[in-house]
Amino acid sequence: MAHSFPVQRTCPFAPPDEYRDYREEAPLVRASLPGGEVWLVTRHAEAQQVLRGEGISTNPATPGHPNGALSPEPPSPEELEAMRKFSVGQFIDLDPPEHTRFRKLLIPEFSVRRVRDMRPGIQEVVDGMIDAMLAKGSPADLVEDFGLAVPSLVICQLLGVPYEDREFFQSRTRALLSGEGFQAAFEIRQYLDDLFTRDPGDDLIGRLYKGGQLTHDEIVGTAFLLLVAGHETTANMIPLGALSLLRRPGQLARLRENPDLWPMAVEELLRYHSIVDWVAFDRVATEDQEIGGQHVKKGEGIYVLGASANRDERVFERPDELDVERGARHHVAFGYGVHQCLGQNLARAELEIAYRTLFERIPGLGVEQADEELSFKYDSAIFGLKALPVTF
């Protein structure tokens, strides 16, 4: 019998309750969506196998792709054409070799060395937002005043958004995450389109332009993808991770005593929350194959449950506990294989600097409300907090 899917989280510090049952049942289970059935990958080893990409496609245009089953009705020809135009440059949805063409151009922009060079700029952004919070005084909203602002300003630096445009850019990225998705997305893409027509500078867009290997629309689409993929995840992780540590003063005390643990803590927070879960891990088999003892046929859709794989008892001891010294770099919060998150080095740096600086500069930071009084994004594709009132 197929399981009903998707299912929502009911706890801010755990995946949906059903995931544990899925994992115990099998590495792959069948799920019923409004438009058909798909496979759900529940365990870590099989998640890596599917995400590795052999005999697997991520392209939504591939017959049998699971996103087509999310709705009982297929999209109209007009909707398909609009999606096609909007998806130009969205290389996350492409398979090799087309995906490889984009990725090779972008890998140098997110290398360990490049991100190391960006760290002073990230530190400046983080300090600036904490200065503003302290100047405004307690209470503050850690989502609006910090979580959303930090990655927005960092992406401005990366893309080459002029300083005088930052207020507009930030307002549109906030709207993008607060339910005004289509209009905000249109305005951001139009802005990036206009930015591309200016004299190219020494920034990511300028270097792509000077490279001459992508079209105008491909550069605009790529910049938009980097904005959405990098901003939304980090913006949600910053306040959620801060709340998790505030709820566990013993863990936070260990980090304050030994700041060298912060990179390890970031990995654990990524594993523990797995806020993207299955949304970016949509796949379809392009050939018959065996996965986790199941015969998966060509054209069958697959969702990898990242939040389930990252709680797999076969890989992580005491997986439901947050342990900042775990060192869980083999989690799949950033994916795995050819489509592993291109910006993971930047995300790690942003999170590490944001958490460390926040707790160093505001040692009296606290949350007075109970978890049940806070507003979480249980109905959102990417999990997080709608607001986090803090005092200091």
List, for residues 29-88, the tens digit of each pLDDT value: 999 999 999 999 999 999 999 999 899 999 998 999 999 888 887 767 766 666 677 778
d(CA 219, CA 103): 13
Q: Which two tokens stand for residue 368?
A: 């007075």
The one-letter code for the residue type at 296 is V
Domain count, the chain: 1
CATH of the domain at 315: 1.10.630.10
Structural domain harbouring 329: 3-390
Q: What is the 3-state secondary structure (H, E, C) of 69-124?
A: HCCCCCCCHHHHHHHHHHCCCCHHHCCCCHHHHHHHHHHHHHCHHHHHHHHHHHHH
Q: Choose among 6, 88, 77: nearest CA to 278.
A: 6
Contacting residues for 39 by C-beta, under 8 A, at least 6 apart: 28, 29, 30, 31, 291, 294, 296, 300, 301, 302, 303
Q: Which residue has the higher pLDDT, 227 or 86?
A: 227
Retrieve residue 299's tokens. 């054209």
Q: Could you read off the pLDDT of 103-156 as tens digits, one per residue?
A: 999 999 999 999 999 999 999 999 999 999 999 999 999 999 999 889 988 988
Q: In a 10 Å sphere around its CB, with 0-12 CB exposed, 13-18 middle and 19+ buried, how is residue 366 labelled?
A: exposed
pTM for the model stands at: 0.93
Instruction: Give yes or no for a cis peptide into 6 (omega within 30° of 0).
Output: yes
Q: Helix count (H) and strand count (E) of the chain?
A: 14, 12
- Residues 330-363 have pLDDT tens digits of 999 999 999 999 999 999 999 999 999 999 999 9
